[in-house]
Structures are given as structure tokens and as C-alpha cells.
Amino acid sequence: MVSVVGVGPGSSLYLTALARQRIEEAEVLMGGVRLLALFPGVRGKKIPLREKADLERVVRRFQRVVVLASGDPLLFGVTDWVLSLVPPEEVEIVPGVSSFQYMLARLRVPLKDVAVVSLHGREGEISHLVRAYQTVVVFTDTRYTPVAIARMLLESGLTEYTICVGEQLSYEDESIRYFSVEELAQSKDNFRLNLVVIQRCIPSSLASPTVYFDVATSP
């Protein structure tokens, strides 16, 4: 059995009881180095997960494998890798609190008229989503940084927006800051682990449901 366990945005306070139980019972614990470091006292063997081949070797050798996923494993996570290697009936998915849920809760922004998109390790263009939705949440990476995203909006003429950058979400050194598009586009900040929220004001009558986009596959 392979359990894909969402560990929340980072702080152990957001780890569910079931997630903790599965982690403590694991024969092998796999995940990114940052995630493995969250559980120094766990008895199971810790193996960094850097590529799909790492996972393939482990699931062939061990019976109780836990794969750690940052946030929720069904949202742009490692679940696709697991399901491509293990029959679905042998996979358990333990949901977690996504960093986007955490940040919108901190901002007190309801989950309506929201688009969630990942630019992490993907090519993509988000201007059409920014125009269509009141709130757009963007998972970033070292290429599509908050500054790069602000410059994309500026080049598209989308300046009447507020960009909120959340760094180190749920950790003690958490930082959440608001910027105008122009201000962030000119910033020299080296942002730490972060999430971007882009907002505009529209009449509430135009609100639509939350949608999720993987820019690698969305139109």
C-alpha cells in the first residue's frame, strides 16, 4: 500500500491526525528534503524523492510507503506519479490543507470566483485568467517569480490589480505583503518560498465558482 499524504502548508499545526498516523506507521517515508525534515523523530526509513525513478524503486521493494505531498496531494502534486506506478486500489490519498486555502483564509477571501493555476515547472500565460476571475492564485517557481508574474501583467496592460505575495506560509517567519503591479514589477526582492494572489474588484453578481488550472493542459 502506498499512502500519499498531504502535510499542509508547512507548520505541523495543519497536519491532520490521520496524516500523522500514516507517517508514524510508515516503513518508508518519501518526499522532498524540506518535507522529510519536518519529521525528525519518525522511525521509518527516509528517502528523498527527486524524480519518478526514485519512487519506482521504492514501491517495488517496500510494503508500507508514505509519499509526502506539500499542501494537498490532489492539487498539482505527486499523485500522478504514484498512480502511474501503482494500481489505484493500492493507493490511499490523505488530503491536506493546501497553501492556497491557507493563504486565502489569512486574507479572508471566500472561495468563489477564484482560479488556481500552477506555473511551477510549467510554461503558461495567465492574463486571460486574470481578466476572467476576481481572484487568481498562482503557484510560483524560480522562473515564474512574483516579480516575473507582475511583469507579465504589466506587459499585458493589466495594471488595475493588487498582488499579494505570501512567503513561508504557516511558518514562524511568515510574511504576507501587498503590492501594486507596477511596484512589484520593479521590485528587487528575492522572495522565499511563496504563493501569489492577484485580485481585482468586480460586481458580486458576476461571481463564478472556483476552478483549478494546470497551465500545461489548460486551453
pTM of the model: 0.85
Question: pLDDT tens digits for the chain (219 residues)?
Answer: 999 999 999 998 999 999 999 999 999 999 999 999 999 999 999 999 999 999 999 998 999 999 999 999 998 889 999 999 999 999 999 999 999 999 999 999 999 899 999 998 777 789 999 999 999 999 999 999 999 999 999 999 999 999 999 999 999 999 999 999 999 999 999 999 999 999 985 444 444 454 544 444 443
CA distance 200 to 115: 13
Is the domain covering 2-97 a CATH 3.40.50.300 domain?
Answer: no
What the block records as the C-alpha cell of 209 is 465558482
Cα separation, 172 vs 185, in Å, equals 27
Spans of all domains in the chain: 2-97, 100-214
Per the CB < 8 A criterion, the answer to whether 93 and 22 are in contact is: no
What count of other Cβ atoms lies within 10 Å of the Cβ of residue 13?
9
SS3 content of the chain, % helix, strand, coil (to 5): 30, 25, 45
Q: 100-214 belongs to which CATH class?
A: alpha beta
Instruction: Decide whether 2-97 matches 100-214 in CATH topology.
Output: no
